[in-house]
Structure 1
């Protein structure tokens, strides 16, 4: 694959991932749609796009890859993500999500027998410290409920990613998991029916989040991964919280606090140390 094409696809994928935070925050702040309805539209539209993507590759027999446990982790991520963005800013939410995902995967690797170098261990401690800086009480601290929900979303996505490490076809597995997650999303919507609010503009944002930022974003990312080394693929995702924070300031009028800047530098710096290749 030509390097220019890899670069373009990678940039588009990172923008799509950051757009998920912006679209969810925009929908829940500016429209009447509720988190459960947003989650339902997002999961269903994402499943449809991934279904089409896998079909276009001619992998009809692999449409139901994945499993129910992974689908549940995917749903918990999507539901907690929506609930958290009722109160969190786009940048803060993306940073909490990304930090929790990476820490969960690092701890998972440690439990599986992977032993970090001293520099990587320092990076992990820095990432934890950054998360603490962000959520400790203070004037500019984000709400505890929203923070806890986003950390739950990150842990769920980290577990989902760990479960998917050994799959042969990530796109087919994700398509199958999104399809199964529809069941959980419908149950969630039914349980929250008493507080359900439908909104046309909110539904449009949810479909954009599911079909474009999630479904199409994952499809683009899977294509880009063919030309990226594992270390490059992990490192480039450091840009997502930064892009979400910038987007929140530019498009949602959110403020960029000193606490968020310090936490961002600490968390991403720590994770960068962890992702740094170990020399033999």
Structure 2
């Protein structure tokens, strides 16, 4: 399943020659990319490629050592910016309160976002419907399956109706059926006009995106329409492992970085 590519309406997210190090480790080495309105952009690469660092920079949780990060036209790390009002984030690590129920977590995050009771009631019903969590509102978060937990985390991030949603490996650790359901849910959000940046180590998920950026050892080694990249490297549209390995071999001369 894949969504039709959006019209080019300008960049909601942009990185320009962004560099970031942690001590001697160079996590990002001059990465540039732009994500258009209503686009599903996939940051695809193995563990340690720099995907989480890029997501955290986009969210304003980190500052770059060099280059520029723009989110909805602003610097997301500027405490005076209004970016957070239009930004949703689903981190890779568990962020919910395990001893709270599904409903209690939703209530808690609605208070953080300052939602009125009327807005919360309307949005709660919509989110419980599209995530299919309506039958589990009294279940504790730590008693949910992996896929249900990720859906709840997504619902909490969507309560304030962000314009841009950042997801750091949202399908990591969930079963194949839940992975498919999560992607179907993401397509629903794009249909409603949201911009998505999704990081993933799963090469098969690249084909689900409008465009992908292939990250390896902190560098963007290829970017573009996943089907076009596959054709360029003589691979089936769904076989992005072959595409990625060919690009890594070309970049490193067959040696690991």
Same fold (TM over 0.5): no
Structure 1 or 2: larger helix share? 1
TM-score, normalisation: structure 1: 0.25
Which structure has more RCO (C-alpha within 8 Å, separation ≥ 6)? 1
What is the TM-score when the length of structure 2 is the normalising length? 0.27
